[in-house]
Each structure stands twice: as C-alpha cells, then as structure tokens.
C-alpha cells in the first residue's frame, strides 16, 4: 500500500471532519476507506459488512453515525435511487447516476457544464443536485431482448 497516499487521505479526512465539528475516529476512517475503496454505491448494510472485515467489533449504529458524519462533512454523498436502502457515493463532482433496474448497478457520468441552467422557482437557493436516469444497462438490455 502507498503510505504517502494513505496519510494524505487521512489528513483530508481529519481536516474535513473537524471543520464540521466532528472528531477523527478509527471507525470513521474505516467506513470512509470502505466507500473510497470499492466505489460501487453500497448501502449502509453493505458498508457495515465490509467494515466488519477490518474492524469486527464495529456496530450497526456506528456505521450509520459515521456515514452521517461523512455526509455532513462533505466527504461522501447519499443517494436515494429507489424505495429501500440509501446508497453512498464517494464521487463529490456533480454527476449523474445511471441506474439499472434489472441488476441494480449504478454508473456515474459527468454532467455537461451547463446542465444546471434550468428554470428555478423564484428565490430558491439550490444546495445540491440529484440527477438519476433509470433504465437498463447494456448487459441487461441485451439479455431482455434474447
């Protein structure tokens, strides 16, 4: 493992957490690592399972607490693609989620620069955008046709 990168990552985490009034903890590090490592939009439950491998004593409630702290610190995003579990995403750029309704996979795509040029309700103060496209990924669309 690249120790330099790891330390930089940890400094970034500590700094962002403390700016939002949170402490650095090994549990938060662990949850953050899980999400940064396999960037597949896991649910809280999936994060819990993966975090347990590194830190077997971590609890369910802690994972929720950590995810919440990371979201509030602007380190990860939460996305609500369908009924059911919230998913978490390490990509903080404005982007669009392509969600396959058959296999559940999620694909990130960058958005064109001007995409936020849409009419707004008068006086609305926009904070963040959630853009999702639901449909079938190439693999699943192929299977359906056959």
Give contact residues for a copy of itself (rule: CB under 8 A): 78, 80-83, 86, 96, 98, 100-101, 107, 109-112, 115, 117-138, 141-142
CB-based burial label for 14 (10 Å; 0-12, 13-18, 19+)? middle
CB neighbours of residue 140 within 10 Å: 16
CA distance from start to end of the chain: 44
Measured distance CA(62)–CA(49) in Å, rounded: 12
Of 21 and 121, the one with the shorter C-beta distance to a copy of itself is: 121
* Residue 62, binding choice from a copy of itself, DNA, none, Cβ under 5 to 8 Å by partner class: DNA
Among 65, 91, 95, 104, interactor with DNA by CB under 7 A: 65
Query: Could you list the residues that contact DNA (CB under 7 A)?
Result: 22-28, 43-45, 55, 57-62, 64-66, 68-69, 83-86
């Amino acid at each position: 493992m690249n120790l330099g990168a790891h330390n930089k990552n940890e400094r970034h985490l500590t700094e962002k957490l403390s700016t939002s009034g949170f402490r650095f903890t090994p549990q938060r590090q662990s949850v953050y690592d899980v999400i940064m490592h396999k960037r597949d939009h896991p649910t809280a439950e999936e994060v819990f399972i993966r975090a347990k491998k590194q830190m077997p004593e971590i609890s369910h409630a802690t994972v929720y607490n950590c995810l919440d702290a990371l979201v509030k610190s602007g380190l990860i995003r939460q996305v609500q693609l369908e009924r059911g579990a919230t998913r978490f995403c390490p990509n903080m750029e404005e982007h669009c989620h392509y969600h396959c309704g058959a296999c559940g996979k999620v694909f990130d795509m960058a958005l064109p620069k001007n995409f936020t040029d849409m009419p707004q309700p008068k006086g609305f103060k926009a904070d963040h955008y959630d853009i999702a496209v639901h449909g079938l990924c190439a693999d699943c669309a192929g299977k359906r046709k056959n």
